[in-house]
Structure 1
Amino acid sequence: MLEILAITTPIFLLIGAGYLAMGIRLLNREQIQGVATFVLYFALPALVIRALTENPLEEVFQPHYLLAYGLGSVAVFAFALLLTLALQGKSLSEAAIHALGMAASNSGFIGYPVAAMVLGASPAAVLLALNMVIENLLIIPAALILAEAGRQSGAGIATVARKTFFRLVRNPILVGLMVGLLLAVTGIALPSPLAKAIDMLANAAGPAALFVIGGTLFGLQVRGMLNDVSQIVIGKLILHPLAVLVFFLLMPAMDPVWVTGAVLFACAPMISIYPLLGHRYGLAGVSAATLMIGTLGSFATLSLAIWLMKSYGLL
């Protein structure tokens, strides 16, 4: 167990450093947002580009991985919609945000740093690129389209889908994904200074991302939302990893690194912009509280997942 804590404790110490920096007013909310912008627009895209250009494309593109992780995420997303719409009678917008919280991991800010500690930076970066495909092209668009459809009763699905598409194509991580794929397919080598700059930015992604999470958590509170918050957190931290694992077990035998990485990414809490998306649909309090509880709870679930995978020989 001490080996597990040696992996997870530094990660949450970095989160704690961000929280402390906000608590002692060393940084304010705008400055934390500035660091988050750096991570989102520079460090994570550089990380994806490096992952796609330093590994052969056939090693990066794993259709069975995409299928298993995608099906596991979609299954949880559909379950959340069924639970909230049919059984709890919530609105379509609220149900979509609940489903997003259960099925989309914080891959860039927590999933990657954890996987890098456990598996190494290179495979973790490849896994990040693959998971970003699922999250940014499948889960997040589906949630936003449904949430907008529930909110804009006068707007058609095609209009909402078109607006969501144009919003997503400006996502810097997806831009990095496209650039990396173009370089990998064409075999174009980056000039040495540019490659070095990308490498330096990529190395900064993990620590800076964790620091941002800590700063973001400062000041969030849980007030009278225990049922909704606990439902989303349990769905994300327990149901999502289990669903992903089940679909991987149904696939042809894969390298344990892929299975381990998929479970680790699925164990990560919900995406860091979850409160921002929730605020748009009247769920600011629930989504912010969910992010806080989910992030804190992931310390336990990630540690447990790593211990179980070590026990069963996946690590």
Structure 2
Amino acid sequence: MYRCCNVKRFLIMLLCDLIAVGLLMLLFQSSLFRTEGVSDPANQGVSLPVLMYHSVFSGRHSDYVIPPEVLESDLQYLSAKGYQAVLVSDLIRYVYHGTPLPEKPVMITFDDGYYNNLEQCLPLLEKYDMCAVISVVGSYIVNQAEQDSHVTAYSYLTFPEIRTLLDSGRIEIGNHTYDLHSHAHRQGCGILPEESESAYRELLRSDLEQLQSLLASQVQIRPVVFTYPFGYVCRESIPVIRSMGFLATLTCYEELNWITRDPDCLYGLGRYNRPYGITTEQYMQKALKGS
């Protein structure tokens, strides 16, 4: 009888241990244990912070203009903390083909296609062995870049300069619309209140294709990432963007991203804008940890 009780006690304790281990495994796989910039060993996903920059030059500074020394401080910080920059193409390979991402990935993005992204930013990316996504606006290239070029403060990239960036192997180009980057008439590429969905979708498709075709003819690429102007996302834009072959979209929602094997995770990626006037540590505390 005594021996039987011991066996029962042993079996009960073993069962409790197994249940405890199972609960710990479930917790480990949950979002409670998702840590900053760490890949899940069970292929459950990867935490991805995305940083958003615009113009970089020494002069007038704002929420969208920072001096080169601030960018260098940020890149130095990332490098020292073990972060490795990735491109949208790296995310696509992870999602669709299972190609591993770095243990601590980060994505660096620049919006609008300023000339200083070549002059000021590329040397710093090379110095710290980083890469970046630059989203360009077609009308800026066609109407402004060639006529008023090589001014660090405000010029935009020309097609030959975009080719130079691509040839560096560190830059991926995104579509930022051909001519819908404006507050004047509509909110970026959003639908107007009086506009029918069919008319809107045709307008958006025509605009995006105009830039896609230009980039294909001038620099032999068709971007797979679309960046919403001013971060404005409207429901009616989503089927157009997907049907045109864009595999990822960038917004201005300030949130961390969780990259899984589900292709839908690449749409609506959040980003943290880099303003002037705060330290690298303050910015990174927010952007890398979502705090």
Greater RCO (CA < 8 Å, at least 6 residues apart): 1
TM band (smaller chain): under 0.3
Structure with greater strand percent: 2
Structure number, greater radius of gyration: 2
Normalized against structure 2, the TM-score is what? 0.27
Normalized against structure 1, the TM-score is what? 0.26
Structure with greater helix percent: 1
